[in-house]
Structure 1
Amino acid sequence: MDVAVVGGGMAGLSTAWELVQQGRKVAVLEAGRLAAGVTGHTTAKLTALHTLTYDHLRRTRGPTGARLYAESQSAAIRHAAEIVDELGIDCDWEEAAAYTYGEQPRLLGKLQAEAEAAREAGLAAEFVSETELPFQVAGAVRVTEQVQFHPRKYLLALAEDLRRRGGAVYEHTRVVGLTEGEPCVLATDAGVSVRADKVVVATHYPVFDRALLFTRLSPRRELVVAGTIDEDRAPRGMYITPEQNTRSVRSAPYRDGKRLLIVTGEHFTPGTADVEERFARLSTWAVGHFPGFAISHRWATQDNDATDSVPLVGPLWLGSRHTYVATGFGGWGLSGGIMAGRLLSDLVNGREVPWAGLYDPRRLLSVVREGGSFLKHQAQVARHFVGDRLPAPTGPSTADIPRGGGAVVRVGGQQCAVHRDENGQLQAVSARCTHLGCLVAFNRAEQAWECPCHGSRFAPDGQILQGPAVRPLERRDI
């Protein structure tokens, strides 16, 4: 086999499809179902306007870096449009304007600077003082001719075409080991080995990390509420503000004179928040700002922020000749994933790409670009590594755990993650994340154990919900 792609989300399937188009023999290995992980929980904005990215890039990467970022992201949107036309994909494709807005006047300076930087980078960006939103804004950056769509429908069509062209797709196949060589060998949880000349790791958070990329990635979980709203009250643009711990809004086609309104926000580090309280806060804001909005669904998604705000796409580590990675999209994994697919396929085939250096994971740590974010992230991780190992003067007992709740309890000298189900039955697993050993915490709203260090998530019985962990939490008897 020429290339094995680990991960069946936007980045993985985009890479595999590009390679099959170029005549490569490719297999995709997905731990769950295709496009059902992070991509399946996205709010589905396909845009090159990424909140307040361009002014930051202009200051940290210079005008050339900002321009390359804009060109690569815009090229991804155009490429996706070409694929939709070529394959005739029915994926609710809608052209829409993207906005970064602020309700408070104190954000005006940043918005004006972002509009100027985005324009210099090549986007058709402008600063506006009015929008279609049903509440007043102080100002906004607007970029037209962006897209909103249904990414799962898009990716399932890509997978179907990939198979038709001879590519292979294996769902429910978790990759747990990688041996680099000629060929590379991937080990799976089913005990089957896969050999390939090249390997692409597109698992959102890298499950293999020769370059210690976990030191430059910070996991971020975000909440989403959705429901119907009358079509004449639904915004047609895509909106985001960094205010109030982020608020992101868009609408999608529905039926019977309604559209689906999708509102995102309240980001937090996994395992560190009262999630029910944050869901309530987001719901209150959404209903208060959009009259007639009837919430019917809620979920959460997870992203990884690179400490210098630029995704890591390219060779997996300094000495890598056969392995590649795509990660750190910072909430913009649709345009980023499509960009990564084209970039990685070109790198595999030995072609030069103008923006390869911008995204190269092997780039050196820069104090100017990422010093503050890097040190903050390392301090948070270190606090968990050290604090989790210090004996607590007091702690919860199993009797303190309510139905539907969970807590880390010391039993017989071991720290156990104990959950009490709605029937009152206790279930215990090891409280140490199998990735690097941080102590997990319980997210009652989503009924999951979460690692605050690198974002691994586990079901109450210890099974993996989300990596980078590749092994479940071990069962414990209490």
Structure 2
Amino acid sequence: MSNDQLNGKLPEHPEPYWRTSVEFPTFPSLQEDIDVDVIVVGAGITGITSAYLLASVGLKVAMIEADKVLNGTTGNTTAKITAQHDLIYDEFIHNMGRNTARLYYEANMEALEFIKETVEKNGIDCDFTSVDAYIYSVSDKYAEKIKKEAEAYQRLQIRGGLVDSMPFDIDVKNVLVMKDQAQFHVTKYLVHLIDLFQKSGGQIFEDTVAVNIETGERPVVLTREEKRISAKHVLICTHFPFYEGTGLYSTRMYADRSYALAVKSQKKFPPGIFISADEPTRSLRSIMDNGEELVLIVGENHKTGQSPVETMDHYRALEMFGEEVLGLKEITNRWSAQDLVTLDKLPYIGEITSGNPNILIATGFRKWGMSNGTAAALLFRDMVTGKENKFEKLYTPSRFYAHPSLKNFLVQNANVVGQLIKGKLDSPNTKPEDLAKGEGAVITLDGHRKGAYRDDDGKVHIVDTTCTHIGCEVEWNNGDKTWDCPCHGSRFKFTGEVIEGPAEKPLQKYDYTMMDNLTSEDSGY
């Protein structure tokens, strides 16, 4: 198949494989005030695992989800369970010290072992497979970086090291393996944990949006529908924290997007999980789907709202890579994911701010949520039940490592200012009548910057492009048909509703017809 023939094989609409291959339970929205021991906000891997663990020790636990369970970042993962998180250990040793770097490895390996033991103990059919993890370079620059990472493995006594080759038709310069890692079918695993959680008396509410917290000895989570949930402990397991307290998390993280394809390949996939050290990143793993092998091809990351090309071009780049390396017979799914990166690349897990032991937060997993999310749940269990945990100081959100944190704080927030100014100076020439069905763009209407999308029925949807978080100008994402903010990663549907925070309010919507003037609609706030 030539590159010319590749065009058009991409599925028309994004849909993550993990959500199309499992039947999900459904739950009602919260209809009344409730009182529990623990309220878990967010039904991804961190929230579900935390809820399962705490209900298992006899606590009264409720979990709420703004959308549907497993419809967020966890449902868009690669589902690798590994402590090999790109080239990170040499950097951690230099910035934070050997002991901290070793603790990070141990925390993620303990999370892997917990998942393995949970699968075996409960007989969960989720395709859990032990594999080795490989990181490779195709350039001399990254070959040297991999060599330094291998030295860090030795210092930290990580099982693995440099190997001579990789079982792919890729001309590599260097390869580093981490032994005894794993992969699984994440939604099969978590749907089973949901069932176990309910059997322990746990409650789950979907379409229930948390908007604020009243702090105190028994904090109260407030919902958009004005329901109140009081608890001894609140666990904020949303992707971006819906409540920041005084933690200023939007200034201490940035959002990064990446893209994924699930494909049927002509070549058999070798055992292992693989990722490139070079940019643009290429990540690979296999899936067994009803006895047929699929391969996940992931990569093309960039800051949210700051893609240098149209977002569909990222999918096409992965498609071409897959054809060159594996030969493609079919692309079954495409989707994208968003991840949050902290100032020092360690997740923030623990007290939301110092002195708030009953409001805990987990965020900033930097694309490695299967292990870090599980590690967060294990830490939460111990913090809630008063048990000592050696990883509490490692992950605490109040930590500060001067070299990476100060430098990255200045860089990231300078970027935000730059994006804020850039968006205000943009003067597009596109008009609503220029748009074809299924096409969106930033337009100029009556001298004002707006966003427009023409749906498949021909209706034009107009929104204000000013993000409701701090006022940056959103950009059109043609791959996912969303409005994405380049400052802090907020994302909105083409109709203006919030998909991902930190924005809490929708974009202002307008009524538009070809014959009528533009008029503001009620945007719901």
For the residue of structure 1 that corresponds to 2:133, the secondary structure is strand
Deviation at 1:179, TM superposition (A): 1.4
Moved over 6 A (4+): none
Structure 2 spans left out of the alignment, 5+ residues: 1-35, 512-517, 519-525
Larger mean Cα displacement after TM superposition, 278-287 or 420-429: 420-429
Does structure 1 residue 214 correspond to structure 2 residue 233?
no
User: Which of 99, 104, 107 is 1:69 aligned to?
Assistant: 104
Provide the C-alpha distance between the structure 2 equivalents of 1:32 and 1:161, rounded to a whole number of angstroms. Answer: 21
1:335/1:442 CA distance change after superposition, 3 Å: same
| Structure 1: gaps of 5 or more residues | none
Q: How does 1:388-399 map to 2 (within 5 A)?
A: 388-390=423-425, 392=426, 395-399=429-433
Q: Normalised by the size of structure 1, how large is the TM-score?
A: 0.95
For residues 422 and 144 of structure 2, what CA distance do their matches in structure 1 show? 40
Q: Which of 315, 325, 345 lines up with 1:289 in the alignment?
A: 325
Q: Secondary structure at the match of 1:352?
A: coil
Partner of 1:320: 356
Cα distance in 2 for partners of 1:80, 1:323 equals 25
After superposition, what is the alpha-carbon deviation per residue over 1:6-59, rounded to whole angstroms, capped at 9, x for unaligned?
A: 100011111111211222111111111212211111111000111101111111
Equivalent pairs counted in the alignment come to 474
| 1:92 counterpart (121, 127, 137) | 127
* Counterpart Cα distance in 2 of 1:120 and 1:167: 44
Check if 1:51 corresponds to 2:83: no
Letter in 2 for 1:269: K
Give aligned-pair identity as a percent.
Answer: 33
1:462 to 2:504 alignment: no
1:445 to 460, 476, 479: 479
Deviations 1:279-315 (A, max 9, x none): 1112111111113553232111111111211111010
Check conservation: 1:129, 1:137, Cα contact below 8 A: no
Instruction: Using the TM superposition, give the Cα deviation of residue 414 of structure 1 relative to its aligned residue in structure 2, in angstroms.
Output: 5.3
Structure 1 window deviating more from structure 2 (172-181 vs 261-270): it is: 172-181
- Judged with a 3 Å threshold, the aligned counterparts in structure 2 of structure 1 residues 84 and 395 are, in CA distance, closer, same or farther, namely same
Q: 1:185 aligns with which of 205, 211, 220?
A: 220
Amino acid at match of 2:379: L
**Residues 311, 329 of structure 1: 8 Å contact kept:** yes
Q: Which residue of 2 aligns with 1:431?
A: 465
Letter in 1 for 2:332: S
Cα deviation 1:241-266 (Å, max 9, x = unaligned): 1313111001111345x411100011
Deviations 1:174-232 (A, max 9, x none): 111221113211121222221112111111111111200111111001011111125x6
Distance of aligned partners of 1:394 and 1:288 in 2 relative to their CA distance in 1, 3 Å threshold? closer
- Which SS does the other structure have where 1:197 is aligned? strand
- Letter in structure 2 aligned against 1:193: R
Tell me the distance in 2 between the aligned counterparts of 1:293 and 1:314.
Answer: 46
Residue 94 of structure 1 deviates from its aligned partner by 0.8
Asked whether the equivalents of residues 180 and 322 of structure 1 are also in contact (C-alpha less than 8 Å), the reply is: no
**CA distance in 1 between partners of 2:404 and 2:491 (Å):** 30
Q: How does 1:311-350 map to 2 (within 5 A)?
A: 311-350=347-386
For 1:217-366, list aligned pairs within 5 A: 217-229=253-265, 233-255=268-290, 258-273=292-307, 274-364=310-400, 366=401
Structure 1, 50-59 or 109-118: larger mean CA deviation: 109-118
Q: Assess, with a 3 A threshold, how the Cα gap between structure 1 residues 400 and 272 changes in structure 2: closer, same or farther.
A: farther
Structure 1 Cα separation of the partners of residues 237 and 182 of structure 2: 23
Question: Counterpart in 2 of 1:9?
Answer: 44
Q: 1:285 to 1:343 in 2, by over 3 A?
A: same
Q: Which residue does the alignment assign to 1:37?
A: 72
1:381 matches 2:416: yes
Tell me: CA distance 1:116–1:293, structure 2 relative to 1, closer, same or farther (3 Å): farther
**Could you tell me which amino acid in structure 2 is paired with residue 15 of structure 1?**
S
Cα distance in structure 2, aligned partners of 1:87 and 1:414? 58
Tell me what 2:150 maps to.
115
Equivalence for 1:408: 442
Q: CA deviation at 1:413?
A: 6.6
Distance 1:25 1:119, change over 3 A: farther
Q: What is the distance in 1 between the residues matched to 2:71 and 2:277?
A: 27
Shift of residue 74, structure 1, vs aligned partner: 0.4
Q: What amino acid is the match of 1:91? A: C
**Which of 508, 511, 520 lines up with 1:474 in the alignment?**
508
Quote how far apart the aligned CAs of 1:411 are. 4.2
